Amino acid sequence: MSDLAAREKLRAVIAELTLRLSDLALVGAGDATAARVQLSATWQKLLPLIEPEAEMPRRACPHCKGSIALLATRCLHCWKTSAPAAQA
For residue 74, the cross-strand partners are 81
**Which stretches of the chain bind Zn ion, using CB under 5 A?**
61, 63-64, 66, 75, 77-78
- Shortest separation between residue 60's beta carbon and Zn ion, angstroms: 8
Bridge partners for 68 per DSSP: 59
Nearer to Zn ion, 25 or 60 (CB): 60
Phi-psi region of 80 (alpha: psi -120 to 50; beta: other; left: phi over 0): beta
Please, which residue, 12 or 57, has the CB nearer to Zn ion?
57
Select 15 or 64, whichever has its Cβ closest to Zn ion: 64
